[in-house]
Structure 1
């Protein structure tokens, strides 16, 4: 059984994989100001790191001894825990025309040719960092709304029923004629739905729009989950009006 990975929504991490120390130093110097950088010297070391924590993007050198960049990428995409993590492959100047085909076949998101332009590298990595942070924010908002709707137990968003009146007492109400039944006491009105339902519905609608527009792994599935919550809130608002 795989140990759970550490997640930190408020931070982002980048994994760089290269067997050459000087290349790792150069990558960390360029990317260190964008996010936390974790280094790996081989494909095997990279896989272990990815099972320990969550990364926004992975940069892998193609030419490495043992498990090369393509094999490392294929192994990352083959694991349920890591298959949605975007991968950028780093290749040398003499690029094999077959590299692009092999890379995209295993699910690589992009390529960069060494020596790379630091500005271009930062720009490409920043795109994936922004997508990761937005996805984490939307996931957190969805979980908060779900907790809001399920607060109090029972069915989502439906308040607990008021306790029934005690029917065991046989004492007639004071001043009541014994020859006729006492009029039933007026039942207390059920508690109102929280005023935040309309606000929750609006936030869910905004979150769904953002997810539909986001071109990121898993955003469509998350949008469907948000839509389900949005419909549940709408039903609750309709029930309250009736």
Structure 2
């Protein structure tokens, strides 16, 4: 699915793995979620994709040539526009036990070993997608509230401009009383 065809509510999932079979497996498991799935075959590709569009979640392989998963995660967390994107690390069971600690230390939200249980991975991803949707709703609500506040402020300013000096003094006094509460 193309990055341009998405909306804010379906920010999508970035799948980062250098192995085609792993990407196909992730797409098979997550396809039923009806969210855009965007592939990246390297840490460099992942960073470019993240700078082009928003994502609800990144599924990131630990072991990749060039920029590995840990370095990619550190770069994701360094950028203002991507620092809050949750990362689930994916790694083989033969990897070092310290990888999980290192993954969490670089800001991972979760750490899953391959082969993974498709139901568990889909459930975890679903939770992050729902959190993303709720955050989007909150952002829209805050934007509306800010616009409403600005409109009320403009109206009050216009009304205050029509007041006489004694009336303005009363308004100022009332504001001080309200702030004291």
Structure 2 length-normalised TM: 0.81
Contact 1:7 1:54 in 2 (8 A): no
Aligned partners of 2:113, 2:82: CA distance in 1, in Å?
24
Contact 1:9 1:137 in 2 (8 A): no
- SS where residue 63 of structure 2 aligns? coil
- SS where residue 159 of structure 2 aligns? coil
| Equivalence for 1:101 | 101
- SS where residue 151 of structure 1 aligns? helix
Contact 1:15 1:39 in 2 (8 A): yes
| Equivalence for 1:17 | 16
Contact 1:93 1:114 in 2 (8 A): yes
Aligned partners of 1:128, 1:162: CA distance in 2, in Å?
47
Aligned partners of 1:143, 1:27: CA distance in 2, in Å?
35
Q: 1:160 aligns with which of 158, 174, 178?
A: 158
Answer 1 or 2: higher relative contact order, Cα 8 Å, separation at least 6: 2
Contact 1:7 1:53 in 2 (8 A): no
Structure 1 length-normalised TM: 0.61
- Higher-Rg structure is 1
Gaps of 5+ in 2: 163-174
| Equivalence for 2:65 | 65
Aligned partners of 2:131, 2:154: CA distance in 1, in Å?
30
Per the TM alignment, residue 19 of structure 1 is displaced from its structure 2 partner at its CA by 0.5
| Equivalence for 1:42 | 42
Aligned partners of 1:117, 1:61: CA distance in 2, in Å?
16
Aligned length: 161
- SS where residue 27 of structure 2 aligns? helix
| Equivalence for 2:56 | 56
| Equivalence for 2:143 | 143
Contact 1:91 1:114 in 2 (8 A): yes
Aligned partners of 2:51, 2:78: CA distance in 1, in Å?
13
Contact 2:6 2:36 in 1 (8 A): no
| Equivalence for 2:28 | 29
